[in-house]
């Protein structure tokens, strides 16, 4: 990818000086995390969603093996989509935030852009967060959301699972769980700056040469311990790099060239390809972690979202035509 724009370099510098020091010392207890969550939610009000969508709250129940699970989040649909009509396809979006913060609201700049550009509705899931709800609670919620889409007549061949950062990890784990449960495969997987290795071994090795503006391997490892809880890292579903990735749908991975998680994304892409999968890895030169969320500000972020929309359209068979933001 081309050299980062002046605007991109300026924002990265501001984050490196102002945000990274705060995240480095983010408290690892519930009270501190609640404060961080409130701060992030308040900041998200400054980031407007795409005007070409409508957003509806979602609070439904999905029966699963005789047990009811709650499916909560937002239904983000193109403004001109017919209301009440069963969607012919959808994107299931799993937000980032280290499994401990953020929500569908914080990621509206991404979910609304995907809905507008692809013409498909986006189910932005509000999954349970750690440390109150450690893994596998988020995965249970993601499986319930996927089943909910299938139960409402959305064909798996027109569903794309997408996620960023920890949500990217969850999206990949969900794809593996879908296979294990013998559910129909989705059309594709889209991962933005995925947090692949929760043990953080690869990111610790990459820390010295990475120029990540606000994510450090040390803070990621500290948060990971909250995510896994007392069970630790023994659950094999957490280890994306050692799973047998057979019969995977096409995968698009986008990662910033400056971020500490780049090495993880590259290793995951290689693992998918070695398993015979179709994986496109895009490394965006000089970009930070989940830079795509700034798609209304950064030209690189807008271009990356265009690429993602075209990928989603290609794997779902959705006619192309909406790939530029208004």
- Determine the Cα–Cα distance for residues 325 and 304; give it in Å rounded to an integer: 12
Find out whether 191 and 171 touch, Cβ atoms under 8 Å.
Answer: yes
pLDDT at 11: 62
Residues 183-188, mean pLDDT to the nearest whole number:
98
Residues 246-257, mean pLDDT to the nearest whole number:
96
Residue 235 has pLDDT above 80, yes or no: yes
Q: What's the sign of the alpha-carbon dihedral 306, 309, 315, 317?
A: negative
Of the chain, the percentage scoring pLDDT greater than 70 comes to: 88
Active-site residue flag, 165: yes
pLDDT at 17: 43
Of the chain, the percentage scoring pLDDT greater than 90 comes to: 69
If pLDDT is split at 50, 70 and 90, which confidence band does 77 have?
Answer: very high
Q: What's the sign of the alpha-carbon dihedral 318, 123, 229, 292?
A: positive
In sequence order, the 6+-apart residues with CB closer than 8 A to the CB of 93 are 104, 107, 110, 111, 114, 122, 123, 124, 125, 162, 163, 167
Residues 131-136, mean pLDDT to the nearest whole number:
95
Residues 317-322, mean pLDDT to the nearest whole number:
64
What pTM was computed for the model? 0.91
What domains can be seen in the chain, in order of their start residue?
6-316 (3.40.50.1820)
Which of 103, 165, 193, 216 is labelled catalytic? 165
pLDDT at 323: 43
Residues 238-244, mean pLDDT to the nearest whole number:
94
pLDDT at 64: 76
What the block records as the tokens of 296 is: 């209304």
The CA-atom distances, in angstroms, between 238 and each of 227, 235, 244 are 11, 6, 13
- Determine the Cα–Cα distance for residues 131 and 314; give it in Å rounded to an integer: 38
Residue with tokens 């994304």: 265
What the block records as the tokens of 274 is: 């070695």
Residue 194 has pLDDT above 80, yes or no: yes
If pLDDT is split at 50, 70 and 90, which confidence band does 285 have?
Answer: very high
């Amino acid at each position: 990818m081309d050299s980062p724009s002046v605007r991109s370099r300026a924002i990265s510098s501001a984050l490196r000086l102002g945000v990274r020091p705060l995240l480095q010392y983010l408290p690892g207890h519930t009270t501190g995390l609640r404060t961080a969550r409130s701060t992030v939610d308040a900041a998200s009000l400054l980031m407007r969603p795409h005007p070409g969508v409508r957003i509806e709250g979602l609070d439904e129940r999905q029966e699963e093996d005789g047990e009811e699970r709650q499916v909560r989040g937002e239904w983000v649909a193109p403004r001109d989509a017919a209301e009440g009509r069963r969607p012919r396809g959808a994107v299931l979006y799993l937000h980032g935030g280290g499994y401990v913060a953020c929500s569908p609201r914080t990621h509206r700049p991404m979910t609304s852009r995907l809905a507008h550009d692809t013409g498909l509705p986006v189910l932005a899931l509000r999954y349970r967060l750690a440390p109150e709800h450690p893994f596998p609670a988020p995965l249970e919620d993601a499986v319930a959301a996927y089943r909910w889409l299938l139960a409402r007549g959305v064909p798996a061949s027109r569903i794309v699972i997408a996620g960023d950062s920890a949500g990217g990890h969850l999206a990949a784990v969900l794809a593996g769980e879908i296979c294990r449960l013998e559910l129909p495969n989705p059309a594709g997987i889209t991962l933005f700056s995925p947090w692949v290795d929760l043990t953080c071994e690869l990111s610790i090795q990459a820390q010295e040469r990475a120029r990540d503006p606000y994510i450090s391997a040390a803070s990621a490892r500290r948060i990971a311990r909250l995510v896994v809880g007392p069970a630790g890292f023994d659950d094999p579903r957490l280890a994306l790099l050692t799973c047998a990735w057979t019969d995977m749908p096409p995968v698009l991975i986008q990662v910033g060239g400056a971020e500490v998680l780049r090495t993880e994304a590259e290793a995951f892409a290689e693992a998918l390809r070695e398993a015979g999968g179709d994986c496109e890895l895009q490394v965006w030169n000089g970009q930070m972690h989940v830079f795509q969320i700034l798609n209304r500000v950064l030209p690189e972020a807008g271009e990356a979202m265009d690429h993602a929309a075209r990928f989603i359209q290609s794997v779902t068979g959705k006619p192309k035509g909406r790939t530029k933001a208004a």
